[in-house]
A = this chain, B = another copy of it.
Amino acid sequence: MHVVITGGAGFLGRRLAAALLARPMLTDARGAARPIAGITLLDVAAPANLPVDQRLRVVVGDLADARVIADAVPPDTDSLFHLAAVVSGEAEADFDLGMRVNVDATRLLLERCRTLDAPPKVLFASSLAVFGGALPDPVPDDAPLKPQSSYGTQKAIGELLVHDMSRKGFIDGRSLRLPTVTVRPGKPNKAASSFASGIIREPLAGVDAVCPVAPATRMWVISPRTVIDNLIVGHEAPASAFGDWRSVNVPGLCVGVGEMVDALRAVAGDEAAARVRWNYDPVIDRIVATWPPRFATARGQALGMRADSDFEGIVRAHMQDQARPRA
């Protein structure tokens, strides 16, 4: 198996690569289990802290450049994990940048996949931001796509392309609508959801963190460990398991932002929790508030996906990961 991971320099890309390298086999689009011969990490910047493995290759370049894509995705590619994206806050602030990366680069990647030796598996990291407006609670997989942000719009366009190109037999695609991943290591980013990691990560590191949304705001979250597991489950499932649509809600945990801080307090004490500063930002809150906090996940669970059991466990897993980095 030859695997390409876009966004390969990001922490999810690096953890995914490490998790794939640790597996004996991966299942190709024809259903054959094969060992991984190589993984290409494609990103705009070179990844740091890579696992040491001769099977890893790094391509640095602009994802919206067809020549970069052609280099990064060789003809014998069996699987593409497309994780790269301009995040929600940035896509809202810079419409053109979001369109270029989230739509144009996605389309270039899918077009490249049409030209390969055989139609590859394509795992597209979509988002709950494809939903918005009035919605049932919990939100089913086939709720109407009414994104209320440019990021959600761009992800919805990606889902439509993945579905149609799968229907045409160009690729074997699957779009996984990921919950908000927390606790992300490293620095804050321009995702509107960045605070959901910051309010845990910074206090645990002895640093103050700003929370721009109300304590009562609920979010649909998943830990890095569990999201990597679910990405691989989504890859391994046969196309037939997806039925008439290639998009699936990934199981998550519905938790209030105040409860997240309570979990921090329970695990790390009052001093850590006191480092969270509540500083309401209407722009961030408006974006986050359009994301439903709870989803029906029977379909994802039937595929074999799972959610974290509680937020304290997510906090503890982050502390363990920080003590012994996996990637």
Residues of A within 8 A of B (CB): 95, 133-134, 142-148, 150, 153, 156-157, 160-161, 163-164, 167-168, 170, 244-245
Contact = CB atoms under 8 A, between A and B. Distances in A.
Contacts of A160: 145, 147, 153, 156-157, 160
Contact of A163 (B134, B153, B167): B153
Contacts of A143: 144
Given A153-B161, A153-B164, A160-B157, A144 B147 contact: no
DSSP class of A's interface residues: helix, strand, loop or mixed? Answer: loop
Contact of A148 (B145, B147, B156, B167): B167
A111 to B, nearest CB: 9
B95 A146 contact: no
A146 B142 contact: yes
Contacts of A144: 142-145
B133 A150 contact: no
Nearest to A151: B164
Contacts of A142: 133, 144, 146
A207 to B, nearest CB: 35
